[in-house]
Structure 1
Amino acid sequence: MAQHSAVLDGVFDALADPTRRAVIRRLGRGRASVGELARDAPMTLPSFMKHVRVLESNGLIRTTKSGRVRTCELNRERLALVDDWLAEQRGIWTERTDRLDRFVTNTQEKP
């Protein structure tokens, strides 16, 4: 359980940065080279590569190198961890709001 929590913490940490979220969003449409991804980033290529390394080290993307071109691909299985966690949280909050709704409804019905 602690290992799963550490992995999830790393994923959320990686997703906390807007540049990295933009990379994930772009890779959701398909593979892209680092050069393509960096084109819209307001930073130097070495700075952008730090973001790529964070995403890769947390398992959100995979990279392959062919010659001088490094291509990135989204790791959808790792994103599924986030989806699972969010579904769990939705369930908890839905139950809480349903209990609150029942409480308010029952309180209002009593004279």
Structure 2
Amino acid sequence: MVELPAPELDTVFHALGDATRRRMLRELSQGERTVGQLAEPFAISLAAASKHIKTLESAGLIAREVRGRTHICRLDPGPLASAHQWLGVYQRFWTERLDVLDGLLRQEDAKTASQPTGEDT
């Protein structure tokens, strides 16, 4: 898997920055949908839905196919995989930091547990 260049990654994160578009992607993860089906759960016009879909298309997250007068959209997971790979660097960073913190807290707990409480007198 090749990491996306910065401008393409910026476009992906911009597209993912909107809750409506994220929900559309979630719907498309279940299978193909028409523009109307993608717009249906929202209180938005078909024109507004189409703008969201164009943003997702520009990011490479979905592909649109025209069948007669119907526009069918499907998920293209490639750019999501690249974004996930990019985020993985930070996941490893925070996991390592939290592991260090966990070790320090366990050491502190062990020291506290081994100290006499003074209640034995």
TM-score, shorter chain, exceeding 0.5: yes
1:10 aligns with: 11
Query: In 2, distance between residues paired with 1:103 and 1:6?
Result: 40
Gaps of 5+ in 2: 116-121
CA RMSD of aligned residues (A): 1.9
What is the CA distance between 1:45 and its match in structure 2?
Answer: 0.8
Paired position in structure 2 for 1:93: 94
Aligned-pair CA distance for 1:106: 4.8
> In percent, how many aligned pairs have the same letter?
38
Q: Which has the higher helix share?
A: 1
1:21-44 Cα shifts (integer Å, max 9, x gaps): 111000000011111111222111
Max Rg structure? 2
Alpha-carbon distance, 1:102 to partner: 3.3
Q: What are the ranges of 5 or more consecutive residues in structure 1 without an aligned counterpart? A: none
Matches of 2:77 and 2:37, distance apart in 1: 20
What letter is aligned with 1:39?
A: E
Q: 1:10 Cα deviation (Å)?
A: 1.3
